[in-house]
Copies of this chain bind each other. A is one copy, B any other.
Amino acid sequence: MTTPRFTILTEGAFGVETAKTAVSAIRYLPGRVSSILDSTRPERTVAEAIGFGGDTPIVATLERALEREPRPDALLIGIAPQGGALPDAWRPTLVAALESGLDLWSGLHAFLADDPQLSELAATRDRRLVDLRRPPPKLPVGTGRAQSTQALRVLTVGSDCNVGKMTTALEVRRVLEMRGLRTGFAATGQTGILVAGSGIAVDAVVSDFIAGAAERVTIEAAAGADVVLVEGQGSLLHPGYSGVTLGLLHGSMPQAMILCAMPSRPTIYGGNYDWVDIPPLDEVARWYEAALSWARPDTPGRVVAVSLATYDIGEDEARRAVEDAGLVTGLPATDPVRFGAEPIADAITARLASACASA
């Protein structure tokens, strides 16, 4: 997959928490985001709207997006509504984008290529429809074979969905690579796949194959690496997505886990889940370690560091949250975006050293 230049549709939802795919593209695909397409944002640039991302413009219409130089190659759907269906309100924009010569990229559960109108129009106009979440054929059932990797397996896990599991993996990878460690990234969600150019969206596979898909992406990303960072999904305590999380845990068989959380969230994200309290982080860490142990891994996987997403609170409060997380868990803690990923990278380096010493 060559990454095109995108205009990213986030209509009505551009923001760090609400447009994960768009914000991650801005952060991790530098130079590939031509504009954000959202008529509801009065700001002129991405940096004005979310505090980073430079002078990438927010435009109100597709016409304005097409005026950018160089012209964008594709329209990327930059938000993922729960359930993953295609909102009817977006259809005219998608049709107009195809008619204007753009490809369409999407991470929705509803595949663009399965939509009769869009697929016919794309064929007529010789445009590509890229469905990031479409799983490959012939996935295996999980058998624990990820344990054969030479690379140290590290999984980001979470107190909730949407708390920075992919961002943490990518930030930690950057630091480990600066230290000279060969570091693979196993993408397991649509945004990770967009950034990495490969991977499997484990939440989109037939559920008997969650662990099998996870073990396949882990093994592939581990090839030739010292460390493989596996992008986590969901949370063991999320009533909607916990199955994906456990399958990913047992498929990737991590030797180390990074626990991701968001200090401002007392309950699970989204209006449907405010009855699900998030317990103290040391308790969540124990749950992950216990759940992994059920499948009898060769080595017990441990949570080795905590990663907080603090973008919605002030800096003093964020520093206190990081300190509190370290105290309650007895582990290194940081916000890798705000304060750097070094404490997490240190914990992984130490875990790697102990694995080598015992080998």
Option from B84, B207, B212, B294 in Cβ contact (under 8 Å) with A287: B294
Of A19-27, A86-94, A141-149, the one touching chain B: A141-149
Q: Which residues of B contact A143 (CB under 8 A)?
A: 239-240, 272-273
A211 interface residue (CB < 8 Å to B): yes
A9 interface residue (CB < 8 Å to B): no
Nearest B residue to A138 by beta-carbon distance?
B85
Total copies of the chain? 2
> Contact flags (1/0) for A115-129 with B, using CB distance below 8 Å?
000000000000000
A296 interface residue (CB < 8 Å to B): yes
Q: Which residues of B contact A210 (CB under 8 A)?
A: 207, 243-244
Docked CA distance A237–B277 (Å): 25
Q: Which of A286-342 contact B (CB under 8 A)?
A: 287, 290-291, 294-296
Write the nearest CB–CB distance from A129 to chain B, whole angstroms: 19
A358 interface residue (CB < 8 Å to B): no
Nearest B residue to A140 by beta-carbon distance?
B83
A206 interface residue (CB < 8 Å to B): yes
With A203-B207, A275-B296 known as contacts, the answer to whether A243 contacts B237 (CB < 8 A) is no
With A206-B207, A296-B275 known as contacts, the answer to whether A248 contacts B239 (CB < 8 A) is no
Option from B243, B287, B296 in Cβ contact (under 8 Å) with A244: B243
A247 interface residue (CB < 8 Å to B): yes
Write the nearest CB–CB distance from A86 to chain B, whole angstroms: 12
> Contact flags (1/0) for A198-216 with B, using CB distance below 8 Å?
0000111111101110000
Is the beta-carbon distance between B242 and A211 smaller than 8 angstroms?
yes
Q: Which among A142, A236, A246, A273 has the greatest number of chain B C-beta atoms within 10 A?
A: A246
A residues contacting the other copy or chain, number (CB 8 A): 47
With A203-B207, A206-B206, A207-B210 known as contacts, the answer to whether A243 contacts B246 (CB < 8 A) is yes
Nearest B residue to A145 by beta-carbon distance?
B272
A250 interface residue (CB < 8 Å to B): yes
Is the beta-carbon distance between B294 and A109 smaller than 8 angstroms?
no
Is the beta-carbon distance between A242 and B237 smaller than 8 angstroms?
no
Is the beta-carbon distance between B243 and A239 smaller than 8 angstroms?
no
Is the beta-carbon distance between B207 and A242 smaller than 8 angstroms?
no
A276 interface residue (CB < 8 Å to B): yes
Q: Which residues of B contact A238 (CB under 8 A)?
A: 295
Docked CA distance A82–B246 (Å): 20
A241 interface residue (CB < 8 Å to B): yes
Q: Which residues of B contact A109 (CB under 8 A)?
A: 206, 208
Is the beta-carbon distance between B296 and A276 smaller than 8 angstroms?
yes
Option from B82, B142, B243, B275 in Cβ contact (under 8 Å) with A207: B243
Docked CA distance A204–B142 (Å): 15
Nearest B residue to A295 by beta-carbon distance?
B239
28 pairs, A vs B, C-beta closer than 8 Å: A83-B140, A85-B138, A109-B208, A141-B240, A142-B239, A143-B240, A143-B273, A144-B273, A144-B275, A144-B276, A204-B206, A204-B208, A205-B206, A205-B207, A207-B244, A207-B247, A208-B240, A211-B240, A211-B241, A211-B242, A242-B246, A243-B246, A245-B246, A246-B246, A275-B296, A276-B295, A277-B296, A287-B290
